């Protein structure tokens, strides 16, 4: 074994003589010296046992990493981070490391309170689950790292790994609890600029629970940067917070906002503004999870997800999450205040919901990739169907923001991933309800992002006084079924709906 290792190092040295292999040559040299040290401390006459070989290899890898920090500077791919969500990234330095024999599925910590030191000091330990829970902390760390994937941001000088670059992240009991907590963290008076097409729960919360607390809002076309800048100028005050609320793709018309363009436009106005009035850019990226879009890398101050949807991914989680940018001054400001709101208000995600979301993250990239592929095929089918008036999907060339989507929804390998959500319009509300009533493989339900494909008539669940969805619109959340089964189900549903509508003429 020793002779084979020495031959390997000689071959690797020869391969590493070229300049582009300098780092590999350096690592090989370190490894050769470390291996020599290991062998000099053992009896060279005895064969190397399997257990000694494993221990020596582990020690050798550790020494190589200690002496050549560039080994750890390679950024881990997003899919690998997702597959390891909730796992420790440390492999220990010695045989007695506590990470050995550690569970490969993180435990659910249900305790609400923790014993206090006899001295009266808790130290750095946990105190009470409203302010600190180990399972929630694992989820927040995992999501914070995911949101910073591929962001060109150097690690701290004391760290040897880019994995330490984490966005401050806070998990809440639902997506709407995350929305309310974020707004509570803003300095009053607060005003939101909302997209004209937006999830109806946000304006409903503003019209009801937050109406009497001085939170104002108005709508703007979030695909038009000139209109956004004009609205911001009209709403600049001497004090308070203006939140530019971006939802992309939008619910349910799948409009795509150019996040970077909006953030650049906002930054231009910030530089002309006084320091006591803040303009925040917040992106609701529920329809474009981290394996599709990374809003913090495009300049946003914060990104929000309803973890109930794609992050959990199995229709069994109720959770919301906000990640604040460590790259912007507003992101740092918001993180400090949001942490205080999470602790004091206490609308925190439960340990079980956090654990289920961690489990969901491990397959997020695989699920979303399949959902994107199926959605593209269904969108093409619906776009050419004789009974469909219009199909809304960012992947279609006819979509008004298709070029923006091509730049922004690119996935971990820079491949276009246009999401698992689409909507289509038929002739009337009755037509839409007939199509929805005739499906069998597809299920009639609200929510989205699960393994099952869902269809919903949006206008019938929106408040009548604030209805924005066209009456003939149906929204599809595409699951993991075979695309042929889904297309066949829709084809029969269209035939049935046609007969129903013809029989009443």
Structure confidence by residue, pLDDT tens digits, 463-485: 888 888 999 999 999 999 999 99
How high is the pLDDT of residue 275?
74
CA distances from 396 to 38, 268, 370, 406 (A): 60, 32, 17, 10
- pLDDT (tens digit per residue) in 22-33: 444 444 454 444
Calculate mean pLDDT across residues 249-262. 98
Calculate mean pLDDT across residues 50-63. 91
How high is the pLDDT of residue 44?
57
Phi, psi values for residue 363, rounded to 5°: -115, 10
Q: Is 275 left (phi over 0), alpha (psi -120 to 50) or beta?
A: alpha
Element (H, E) at 423: strand 421-425
- pLDDT (tens digit per residue) in 380-406: 999 999 999 999 999 999 999 999 999
How high is the pLDDT of residue 19?
42
How high is the pLDDT of residue 4?
43
Q: Is 443 left (phi over 0), alpha (psi -120 to 50) or beta?
A: beta
Phi, psi values for residue 243, rounded to 5°: -105, 115
40 pLDDT band, cuts 50/70/90, is: very low
How high is the pLDDT of residue 480?
98
Q: How many CB atoms lie within 10 A of CB 168?
A: 20
For residues 21 and 173, the model is more confident at 173
Count CA within 13 A, CB hemisphere, residue 107: 7
8 pLDDT band, cuts 50/70/90, is: very low
Calculate mean pLDDT across residues 301-311. 98
Point out the least confidently predicted range of 61-75, 133-147, 172-186, 219-233: 61-75
Say what the pTM is: 0.87
- pLDDT (tens digit per residue) in 406-440: 999 997 677 889 999 999 999 999 999 999 999 99
68 pLDDT band, cuts 50/70/90, is: confident
Point out the least confidently predicted range of 141-145, 156-160, 448-452: 156-160
214 pLDDT band, cuts 50/70/90, is: confident
Calculate mean pLDDT across residues 150-164. 44
Q: Is the pLDDT of residue 286 over 50?
A: yes
Edge-first strand order for the sheet with 473-477 is: 390-392, 421-425, 473-477, 454-457, 443-444
Which residues lie below 8 Å from residue 296, measured CB to CB, with a gap of 6+?
A: 147, 148, 151, 167, 302, 303, 323, 325, 327, 331
How high is the pLDDT of residue 47?
86
72 pLDDT band, cuts 50/70/90, is: low
Calculate mean pLDDT across residues 243-258. 98
Which residues in 202-234 are b (16+ Cβ under 10 Å) and which e?
A: bbebbeeebeeeebebeebebbebeebeebbee
For residues 300 and 33, the model is more confident at 300
How high is the pLDDT of residue 505?
73
Q: How many CB atoms lie within 10 A of CB 96?
A: 7
Q: Which two tokens stand for residue 139?
A: 């989820």
How high is the pLDDT of residue 457?
98
Q: Is the pLDDT of residue 5 over 90?
A: no
């Amino acid at each position: 074994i020793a002779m084979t290792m020495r031959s390997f190092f000689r071959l690797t040295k020869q391969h590493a003589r070229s300049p582009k292999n300098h780092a590999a040559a350096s690592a090989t040299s370190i490894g050769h010296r470390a291996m020599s040290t290991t062998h000099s401390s053992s009896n060279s006459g005895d064969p190397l046992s399997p257990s000694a070989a494993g221990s020596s290899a582990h020690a050798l890898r550790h020494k190589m990493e200690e002496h050549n920090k560039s080994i750890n500077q390679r950024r881990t791919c997003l899919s690998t981070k997702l597959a390891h969500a909730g796992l420790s990234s440390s492999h220990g330095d010695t045989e007695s490391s506590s990470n050995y024999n550690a569970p490969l599925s993180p435990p659910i910590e249900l305790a609400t309170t923790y014993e206090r030191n006899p001295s009266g000091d808790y130290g750095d330990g946990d105190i009470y689950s409203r302010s600190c829970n180990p399972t929630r902390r694992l989820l927040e760390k995992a999501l914070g790292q995911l949101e910073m994937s591929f962001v060109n941001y150097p690690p701290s000088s004391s760290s040897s790994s880019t994995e330490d670059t984490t966005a401050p992240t806070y998990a809440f009991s639902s997506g709407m609890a995350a929305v309310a907590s974020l707004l509570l963290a803003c300095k009053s008076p607060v005003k939101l600029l909302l997209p004209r097409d937006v999830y109806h729960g946000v304006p409903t919360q503003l019209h009801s629970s937050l109406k009497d607390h001085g939170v104002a809002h108005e709508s703007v076309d979030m695909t038009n940067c000139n209109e956004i800048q004009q609205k911001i100028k009209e709403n600049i005050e001497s004090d308070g917070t203006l939140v530019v609320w971006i939802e992309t793709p939008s619910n349910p018309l799948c409009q795509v906002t150019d996040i970077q363009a909006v953030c650049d436009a906002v930054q231009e106005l910030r530089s002309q503004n006084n320091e006591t009035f803040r303009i925040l850019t917040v992106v609701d990226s529920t329809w474009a999870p981290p394996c599709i879009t990374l809003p913090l890398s495009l300049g946003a101050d914060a990104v929000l997800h309803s973890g109930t949807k794609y992050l959990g991914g199995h229709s069994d989680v109720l959770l919301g999450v906000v990640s604040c940018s460590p790259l912007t001054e507003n992101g740092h400001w918001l993180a400090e205040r949001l942490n205080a709101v999470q602790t004091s208000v206490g609308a925190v995600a439960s340990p079980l919901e956090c654990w289920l979301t961690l489990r969901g993250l491990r397959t997020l990239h695989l699920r979303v990739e399949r959902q994107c592929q199926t959605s593209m095929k269904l969108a093409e089918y619906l776009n050419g169907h004789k009974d469909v008036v219009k199909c809304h999907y960012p992947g279609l060339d006819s979509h008004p923001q298709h070029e923006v989507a091509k730049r922004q929804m690119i996935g971990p390998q820079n491949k276009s991933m246009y999401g698992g959500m689409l909507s289509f319009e038929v002739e009337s509300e009755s037509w839409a309800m007939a199509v929805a009533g005739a499906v069998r493989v597809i299920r009639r339900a609200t929510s989205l992002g699960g393994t099952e494909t869902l269809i919903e008539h949006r206008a019938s669940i929106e408040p009548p006084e604030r209805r924005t969805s066209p009456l003939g619109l149906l929204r599809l959340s595409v699951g993991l079924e075979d695309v042929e089964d889904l297309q066949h189900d829709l084809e029969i549903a269209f035939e049935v709906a046609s007969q129903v509508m013809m029989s009443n003429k």
